[in-house]
C-alpha cells in the first residue's frame, strides 16, 4: 500500500506559512556523517520546478562525494573554509587529478555543468557553512569512487539523500526524463 | 559601431578567478534610490542559463517596483525587516489589494510564478538585506504603477536594471523568446 506524500506530516509543506522562519527548519544529516542539510525551498516539498536552495554545514573533515550533475550550481560560503576540487577537463574518459581552490567566508563559485567536483571542509576545527543554489530540481547526482573512475562507471544517486523519503512517496507527481 | 561586451572591461568576467571574493564585488544602485544590488552569479556576466543569484540591500523606505515575472524566485532575509506585498489572486484582470506578510532575519519565502509582488523595507532605520534566487535569467519583469493597474498594461522592463549595460552589448549572444 502506497501512502501519498501529502499524508506524511513532514512531507507536507502546503500548510506552512508563505514566509517561514529558517531558524525552525528541521536539520538532518541524511546518513552522511558531519553534514547538516536544510532544503530552504525546493522541488520535493515546495513544488518548485526550476530552482532549489540549500543551507549546508560540513564539520571539519567532512565533504561531498566526488560527483557531477547536469544542472547549474552556485555556492556562497557563509562561514568557515575548505577546498573545492574540480576536474580539469570535461572531455577525458575520467575526471583525473583535480585542480584545488581555497574557499573562504564570503567567497562564491559556480560549478560548470557536468564538471566533476567535490567540496571538502579541510579546516581543523571550524564548520564550513554554505548556501547552494541548483537548477532543475530535484538534483540527479552521479557519484565517483575516486578521481580515476571512468565517467561511464559513476553511479546515479536519485533521488538524492535529502529528497529520498518524500520523493518516493510523491513519485507520481514527477515527470522526469531519467 | 557596436562594441562587443567582452571588450568592455566591467562586462568581462571570464578573466576572473573561479572562486571569487564577494567582499570585493562592485555594488551599484542602477538608478534606483536606496538600492544596492550585486549579481553574485548570473546570465549576463557569467553565462549561466538556468539560475541567477543576487545580493540586495534596501535602505529604510526603499522597495522593489510592484511587478511580476514568469520565473521562480526565492528570497532569504539576511538582515533587517520589511513587508512582502503579494496579490491575492492570479486570475483577476488586475492584481488588486495585496496581502501583507512581515519578513524578518532568517525568514524565507518563494514567489509563485507570475504572482504580482513587492518587497518593501518598511523599517525606520535598518537596512533590509536579502539573497534572491531566480530561474531562467536574465529576468524579464513586468512593472505595475499600482495594484489596480490591469495586468495587460504592466510594462515590460527588459533587460532589467542591472542587466542593461552589459546585456545590450552582448545581445547577440542571447536567443530569447521575448
Ligand atoms: Zn554539486
Ligand atoms: Zn520578483
The answer to which of A7-21, A27-41, B110-124, B162-176 has the lowest mean pLDDT is: B162-176
CA A113 remoteness from chain centre = 14
pLDDT in tens, B136-174: 999 999 999 999 999 999 999 999 999 988 887 655 454
Find, among B11, B105, B123, the residue nearest to B59 by Cα.
Answer: B123
Q: How crowded is residue B91: how many other Cβ atoms within 10 Å of its Cβ? A: 4
Cell of B102: 512581515
What is the per-residue burial (b if ≥16 Cβ within 10 Å, else e) of A45-70? Answer: bbebebbbbbbbbbbeebbbbbbbbe
Interface predicted TM-score (ipTM): 0.90
Distance, in angstroms, between A104 CA and closest chain B CA?
A: 8
CA of B25 to the centre of ligand 1 (A): 24
Q: Distance, in angstroms, between A97 CA and closest chain B CA? A: 17
Indicate if the alpha-carbon torsion angle B130, B135, B139, B144 is positive or negative.
negative
Spatial distance between the Cα atoms of B14 and B106, rounded to a whole number of angstroms = 33
pTM of the model: 0.91
Residue A68 has pLDDT above 90, yes or no: yes
pLDDT digits (tens, 9 = 90+) for B12-69: 666 678 999 999 888 889 989 999 999 999 998 888 999 999 999 999 999 999 999 9
Question: What pLDDT digit, counting tens, does each position of B29-42 carry?
Answer: 998 999 999 999 99
B 94-133 near A (Cβ less than 8 A) = 101-104, 106-110, 131, 133
Candidates A18, A74, A134; nearest CB to B40:
A74
**What is the per-residue pLDDT for A166?**
86
Length of chain B counted residue by residue: 178
Q: How far is residue A177's CA from residue B154's CA, in Å, rounded to a whole number?
A: 36
Taking CB atoms within 8 Å and a gap of at least 24, the contacts of A28-32 are A28/A162, A30/A161, A30/A162, A30/A164, A31/A161, A32/A62, A32/A161
Amino acid at each position: 500500500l502506497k501512502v501519498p506524500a501529502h499524508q506524511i506530516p513532514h512531507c507536507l509543506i502546503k500548510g506552512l506559512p508563505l514566509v517561514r522562519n529558517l531558524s525552525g527548519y528541521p536539520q538532518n544529516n541524511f546518513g552522511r556523517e558531519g553534514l547538516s542539510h536544510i532544503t530552504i525551498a525546493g522541488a520535493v516539498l515546495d513544488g518548485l520546478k526550476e530552482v532549489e536552495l540549500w543551507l549546508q554545514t560540513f564539520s571539519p573533515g567532512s565533504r561531498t562525494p566526488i560527483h557531477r550533475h547536469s544542472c547549474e550550481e552556485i555556492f556562497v560560503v557563509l562561514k568557515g573554509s575548505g577546498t573545492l576540487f574540480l576536474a580539469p577537463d570535461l572531455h577525458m574518459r575520467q575526471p583525473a587529478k583535480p585542480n584545488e581552490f581555497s574557499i573562504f567566508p564570503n567567497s562564491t563559485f559556480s560549478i560548470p555543468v557536468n564538471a566533476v567536483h567535490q567540496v571538502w571542509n579541510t579546516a581543523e576545527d571550524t564548520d564550513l557553512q554554505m548556501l547552494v543554489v541548483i537548477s532543475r530540481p530535484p538534483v540527479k547526482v552521479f557519484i565517483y569512487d575516486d578521481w580515476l573512475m571512468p565517467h561511464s562507471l559513476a553511479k546515479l544517486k536519485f533521488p538524492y539523500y535529502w529528497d529520498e523519503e518524500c520523493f518516493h512517496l510523491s513519485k507520481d507527481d514527477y515527470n522526469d526524463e531519467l
